[in-house]
Structure 1
């Protein structure tokens, strides 16, 4: 897989650079349902379903091979509210004693 393939797959799904696995799965279901031949009499688009499924495969492959980081800095990157709490919890202005 090339990075350009991943970017194209994200464009098909309408994603930016950060999404959860739950969001990936939900968006896949939504897109397949939208383009399915049996969907509300619209006739569907088999070519679009093929593109969506190919994009899903690329995104899923990337996510399955992703190496998760449990480093403290990554934790605070993923949880900005916790970073603020950690930085300012002891500050008198924010209610500490």
Structure 2
């Protein structure tokens, strides 16, 4: 897979750079419902369904092969409220005395 393919898949899905697998799956269901001939009637577009499914395959492949970082810094990047709690939990104004 090339990075350009990944970017194109995100464009087809209309998603930003940072998304969850749950968001990818939900967007896929939404796009399939919108373009599938059985549910969209005459507005269904078989070519668009092929593009959506190909993009979904690329996004799933990337997500399944992604190596997760369990480093502390990555944790705080993913959970900014925990970073604030860690930084200010022991201050008299925000945390304990």
Q: Bin the TM-score by the shorter chain.
A: over 0.9
In the other structure, the counterpart of 1:47 is 47
Tell me the CA shift for residue 40 of structure 1: 4.0
After TM superposition, the score normalised by the length of structure 1 is: 0.95
Unmatched 5+ stretches in structure 2: none
What is the aligned partner in structure 2 of residue 37 from structure 1?
Answer: 37
- CA RMSD of the aligned region, Å? 1.0
What corresponds to 1:66 in structure 2? 66
Q: Is the 8 A contact 2:88 2:95 kept in 1?
A: no
How many residues are treated as equivalent by the alignment?
A: 97
What residue number does 1:83 align with? Answer: 83
Where do 5+ consecutive residues of structure 1 fail to align?
Answer: none
Give the C-alpha shift of residue 57 in structure 1. 0.5
Judging by fraction of residues, say which structure has more helix: 2
Q: Any idea what SS the aligned residue of 1:17 has?
A: coil
